């Protein structure tokens, strides 16, 4: 790594896109992924659909437990 960098020719906001949506990748433990993949195949759904369903239910549960 250099001690100093020359940013005099840089363009501010060059890659900024208003309204852009950031999709965060989620990495699952190998065993968890395997079980979810098996469940998704069994139900004929995509694994992301199964994961979203589980996360939604967990969020509902957390809201119930913390809304007192």
DSSP letters of 4-60? Answer: ----TT--TTTT--TT--PPPP----HHHHHHHHHHHHHHT--HHHHHHHHHHHHHH
How far apart are alpha carbons 35 and 3 in whole angstroms?
48
Query: Per residue in 2-23, pLDDT tens?
Result: 999 999 999 999 999 999 998 8
Question: Which residue ranges make up each domain of the chain?
Answer: 30-66
Q: Is the predicted pLDDT of residue 68 greater than 90, yes or no?
A: no
CB atoms under 10 Å from CB of 6, counted, come to 7
Reported confidence tier of residue 67, pLDDT bands at 50, 70, 90: confident
Q: Is the predicted pLDDT of residue 58 greater than 90, yes or no?
A: yes
């Amino acid at each position: 790594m250099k001690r100093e960098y020359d940013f005099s020719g840089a363009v501010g906001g060059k890659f900024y896109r208003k309204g852009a949506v950031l999709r965060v990748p989620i990495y699952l433990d190998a065993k968890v992924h395997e079980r979810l993949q098996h469940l998704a195949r069994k139900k004929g759904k995509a694994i992301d659909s199964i994961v979203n369903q589980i996360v939604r239910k967990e969020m509902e549960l957390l809201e119930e437990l913390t809304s007192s």
